[in-house]
Structure 1
Amino acid sequence: MNTRPASEQHIVSQRLLMTFASLSIMAILSIVGFFIHHDYIDDKKQATRSASNIVQLVDRNISEVMRLYDDVLNGMIKTWQSAPLNSLSEDIQHQLLFSRAQDAPSDDGFFILNAHGVVVADSRTAIASPADLSDQAYFTAHRHGSRDALFISPPFKTGPDVDDWNIAFSRRISAPDGTFLGVGVAQMRLEYFYELFQSLELSPDDTINLMSSDGTLITQYPVTIRPLFGTYVGCLPGIQRLFDETDGSFIATSHIYGVEEFAVLLVDTDTRGARQIAEGIRKAVEGMAPITDGGTSVTISLGTYTRQVRTGDTLQELVRKADAALYEAKHSGRNRVVSVSEQQHEQNVA
């Protein structure tokens, strides 16, 4: 027989109810935390795999294109330095010099520059216009350098249109004794990279930036900062870390990582109680340590909706109205709780 007074039984019941509610909140938080962390790890692994696959594909493609351009350049220079070439007509000379130029994708001309930087042969026309290109970066690099290495120029404008951007591949032309004789140059339109990156089927929010090893931005897809093509961006913190790493991948902090949603069904709970539980979840998530070292803390927005159950009610309708409260919380500044009751919803509708 229970001999406790009714008031004591009521206090014990309240304590048990409060303990049960606290344990329920802790269980909810544990489940939420598990799924957020689990989804983050899965997304991180998937993003790393995708980035690695894209980098390998781009690296292989660009390496093949560079090798092709370099082969054509070397063949052109070798032909130019061939003694019998001068005995042939200009048309035959032109055909022999640039016989493989059409093999290079998106080419915008192959050229021979003499020791003064003046164009003496042009793949685009049989009679070259004697343009002075001695101020170009590739000519200066080869004139002052003795190494016969492939030089890749920064991007440069070639016309008035926004898409008129090229890069140049070039090699030094030297006499047997090392004397500087000129430069062999091949220009490639940057549209080649646009088409390559477009074929990768990136997500709508993805961006690819192609940089040289010295931190110069060559191109970007989708293009958002075209005026910065050819400028040095190696001073940016994310780029510095990229150059500091020998290989592998890393994750940098972005403004928005992503959105995870979950639902909690509370039985026999009024609007005030639902809001208290939601606030408990919000504060607990806000107090969690960052998922990554040096990262920002995770925040959460919650929406609650309460009503008396009636015949014909569906869970989908209840979730839809709670979802509307959630989006109101997000649009109001995030990291907050918005609670809507049945009475408030009917007043808003009216």
Structure 2
Amino acid sequence: MTASRTALFQGPTGRPEIMVIFGSTLTVISILCIVTFLLIREHANAQQTATRSATTIAQLIDADVLRTVELYDLTLQGLIAAAQRDDLKQVAPQIRHLVLFDRSTTARYKGDILLLDKHGDVLADSSLIEPKPGNFADRDYFLAHVFNRDTGMFISRPFKPRCDCDDSDEWRISFSRRISSPTGEFLGVAVASMRMSYFDQLFNSLDIGNGSTLGIINDDGILLAQKPYREQNAIGKSLSSRPNVARMLRERSGTFESVSSVDHQRRLYTFTRVGNLPLTVIVALSIDEVFAAWNRTAYAISGATGVLCIGLLWLTWMLCRELRRRQSAEQELAQLAATDALTGVANRRSLDLTLRHEWFRAQRSGKPLSLLMIDADHFKAFNDRHGHQAGDDALRALAEVIRTNVHRPADLVARYGGEEFSVVLAETESEGAKQIAEHIREAVQKLPLVDAGEPPMSVSIGIATWTSGSDINLEQLLFSADKALYQAKEGGRNRVVTA
């Protein structure tokens, strides 16, 4: 560093030094103000984006639920219209059943569709031509119509069916309509039940991120569906006493930020009413998830800004020189850190990084990933017989043979440890991996590494392959390849075994 540059950092011994410090301080303050302003603006943008996303999700749920409920309502109206036809009383039961439930096939996730008389007894059942005896006069979907002719279509509380059927433990809700005489007399109820798995399917089709929740409640605050389930046995219970739910029931639609009374996590709540139905859709996005990207950006920018400000105040010139030196050194170290010094192939650290990268790439693309584990047979005996220098030469020759038989740039040859090597074969099926392994095994036997009369150098190879649909993880892939190698050793060595 020259004397003139050194003087810039010696402190306020004169006017130029004071001006530099003043200018640097003013620059730092300006940078901090600008960065703070940008971060605040990006924070607001992240919240607006999350609100728009939540609103879109709520609208998608709203539209799907509304369509489904309309199909059920059309089914009920068709059933009532058919039930009031006098000519159906004279036809065969099969034909009457077909006409009554003609529209029921269009309803998704439908359960039972029943026609009940004014006492709640079953007159017709969509699943049976001759209905089983049953009475549902105590159900809310029946009682809602007994004394009120203006109820319209009623949506029940969640319930489990009264039967010994396979799905008796599955929650359902029912839609019902009153059947009245021309004079308004109560004649009965048409009711159609829907399996709650409809909501599970609908919610599972939407990606809301970790820590977030989807839900539907009715106007009494009763929880009809939720993803994921934040508490046991909440379905069918009223949540209206909880502050967040009470606010939603009061305001009908809107967005607010609050803490959940269940798991005490802060969330961004967006809620909207489903058309004119007594249902409210709730989308609760985790604040941690909403601002996750912003937090990472804020930390990165804040750190970078701090380094920049310190550099402007104290180490501007030296930092530039140091960064250049460090960049060169890091590149050299990175090269050394990724290579095995003895054989020149990739080392274990490079193998771990590459294998993990190729694993996630295979998960995204669905293309296969194969792993070869290669071990030199009787290498300790070879080392003892010929010496360590010959052993090192053998390992280098072995690495070169493996590298020669693995041609694609995307594949990786690495020394796993000792006399063991690994090969990562991207987008390679088990059969292709086996062919490469056989070529390697045959080529190794041809190496001129032993004296006349000695058995040739050989290797045992284990292969494991991940394909789309496999339920193994990365650790299990490694374990399978290692196990296959062990089987090759146990089976007599100098062979290839596929897991």
For the aligned pair, the TM-score class normalised by the smaller chain equals 0.5 to 0.7
Are 2:157 and 2:224, in contact at CA under 8 Å, matched by a contact in 1? yes
Is 1:100 the counterpart of 2:106 in the alignment? no
Is 1:141 the counterpart of 2:154 in the alignment? no
Q: Which runs of 4+ in 1 moved over 4 A?
A: 8-25, 159-163, 267-270, 308-312
Are 1:107 and 1:187, in contact at CA under 8 Å, matched by a contact in 2? yes
Is 1:193 the counterpart of 2:206 in the alignment? no
| Letter of the structure 2 residue corresponding to residue 55 of structure 1 | A
Are 1:77 and 1:173, in contact at CA under 8 Å, matched by a contact in 2? yes
Indicate the residue corresponding to 2:305 in structure 1: 264
CA distance in 1, matches of 2:100, 2:252: 40
The CA deviation string for residues 200-222 of structure 1, in whole angstroms up to 9 with x for no partner, is: 33334432111123322110123
In the TM superposition, what are the counterparts of 1:200-239 in structure 2 within 5 Å? 200-225=206-231, 227-239=233-245
| Letter of the structure 2 residue corresponding to residue 197 of structure 1 | F
The CA deviation string for residues 219-264 of structure 1, in whole angstroms up to 9 with x for no partner, is: 0123333611121122322223323335443343516443232223
Length, aligned pairs only = 277
Are 2:121 and 2:134, in contact at CA under 8 Å, matched by a contact in 1? yes
Q: Kindly tell me: are residues 14 and 216 of structure 1, through their superposed partners in 2, closer, same or farther at Cα, counting changes over 3 Å?
A: farther
In the TM superposition, what are the counterparts of 1:91-130 in structure 2 within 5 Å? 91-130=94-133
In the TM superposition, what are the counterparts of 1:35-46 in structure 2 within 5 Å? 35-46=38-49
Is 1:68 the counterpart of 2:74 in the alignment? no
In the TM superposition, what are the counterparts of 1:293-304 in structure 2 within 5 Å? none
The CA deviation string for residues 18-77 of structure 1, in whole angstroms up to 9 with x for no partner, is: 866765664454234223212211112211221222222222221111111111101101
Is 1:178 the counterpart of 2:219 in the alignment? no
Could you tell me how far 1:160 is from its partner in structure 2? Answer: 8.1
Moved more, 95-104 or 139-148: 139-148
Larger Rg: 2
Q: TM-score, normalised by structure 2?
A: 0.49
Could you tell me how far 1:17 is from its partner in structure 2? Answer: 8.2
CA distance in 2, matches of 1:144, 1:173: 12
Are 1:197 and 1:221, in contact at CA under 8 Å, matched by a contact in 2? yes
Indicate the residue corresponding to 1:277 in structure 2: none
Are 1:219 and 1:226, in contact at CA under 8 Å, matched by a contact in 2? no
| Letter of the structure 2 residue corresponding to residue 91 of structure 1 | Q
Task: Give unmatched runs, 5+ long, in structure 1.
Answer: 1-7, 274-305, 318-350
Q: Kindly tell me: are residues 163 and 184 of structure 1, through their superposed partners in 2, closer, same or farther at Cα, counting changes over 3 Å?
A: same
| Letter of the structure 2 residue corresponding to residue 176 of structure 1 | P
RMSD: 3.5
| DSSP-derived class of the 1:50 partner | helix
